[in-house]
Amino acid sequence: MDQQKAKFICSKCGAETDADVDTERYKKRLCRNCFGKKKDTRVNQLNDLTGAEWARHSKSIESYPDTRTQNQKEHGACFPKALARHQIEIYTQEGDVVLDPFVGVGTTMQAAHELGRKSLGIELNPRFAQMCRDEIAEKGIEGELFEDDAENMLAHIARDSVDFILTSPPYANLLKTINGNFAYKWRELSEINPIKNPAPYSLDGRDIGNMEYGEGIAAISGVMKKCHAVQKAGTYAVWVVKDFRDLKRGVPYIDFHGDIIRCAEEAGYTLWDIRIYDQTNFRPLVCLGYPSRNFYLNIGHSYLLVFKKMR
Ligand X SMILES: C[S@@+](CC[C@H](N)C(=O)[O-])C[C@H]1O[C@@H](n2cnc3c(N)ncnc32)[C@H](O)[C@@H]1O
217 binds ligand X, rule: CB under 6 A:
no
Q: How many residues bind ligand X (CB under 6 A)?
A: 23
257 binds ligand X, rule: CB under 6 A:
no
Give the C-alpha separation, 73 to 76, whole Å.
5
Scanning 4-12, 55-63, 73-81, 291-299 for contacts with ligand X by CB under 6 A, the matching segment is 73-81
CB-CB contact of 154 with 230 (8 Å): yes
170 binds ligand X, rule: CB under 6 A:
yes
> How many helices (H) does the chain have, and how many strands (E)?
10, 12
CB-CB contact of 145 with 123 (8 Å): yes
Cross-strand partners of 16: 9
Give the C-alpha separation, 35 to 29, whole Å.
9
Q: Tell me, what DSSP letter sits at residue 23? A: S
| Shortest distance (Å) from residue 308 CB to ligand X | 21
Q: Which residue is nearest to ligand X (CB)?
A: 104
- Pairing between β-strand 244-246 and β-strand 270-278 as defined by DSSP bridges: unpaired
Helix (H, G, I), strand (E, B) or coil at 56: helix
Scanning 30-38, 72-80, 91-99, 263-271 for contacts with ligand X by CB under 6 A, the matching segment is 72-80
Q: Which of 156, 187, 206, 232 binds ligand X (CB under 6 A)?
A: 206
201 binds ligand X, rule: CB under 6 A:
yes
Nearer to ligand X, 26 or 216 (CB): 216
Nearer to ligand X, 207 or 259 (CB): 207
Residue 97 has a CB neighbour count (10 Å cut-off) of 22
107 binds ligand X, rule: CB under 6 A:
yes
Nearer to ligand X, 6 or 199 (CB): 199
Q: Which of 124, 183, 229, 286 binds ligand X (CB under 6 A)?
A: 124
Scanning 77-85, 186-194, 248-256, 268-276 for contacts with ligand X by CB under 6 A, the matching segment is 77-85
| Shortest distance (Å) from residue 284 CB to ligand X | 20
Q: Which of 35, 128, 256, 303 binds ligand X (CB under 6 A)?
A: 128
Amino acid at 302: S
122 binds ligand X, rule: CB under 6 A:
yes
| Residues 134-163, interacting with ligand X (CB under 6 A) | 149-150
Give the C-alpha separation, 203 to 256, whole Å.
22
Nearer to ligand X, 45 or 67 (CB): 67
Scanning 47-55, 71-79, 246-254, 301-309 for contacts with ligand X by CB under 6 A, the matching segment is 71-79
Nearby residues of 94 by Cβ (< 8 Å), 6 or more positions away: 48, 115, 116, 117
What is the chain's percent helix, strand, coil content, to nearest 5? 35, 20, 45
CB-CB contact of 274 with 305 (8 Å): yes
Nearer to ligand X, 17 or 107 (CB): 107
Nearby residues of 6 by Cβ (< 8 Å), 6 or more positions away: 18, 19, 21, 26
**Tally of residues, the chain:** 311
Contacts to ligand X by CB under 6 A: 75, 77-79, 102-105, 107, 122-125, 128, 149-150, 168, 170, 201, 206-209
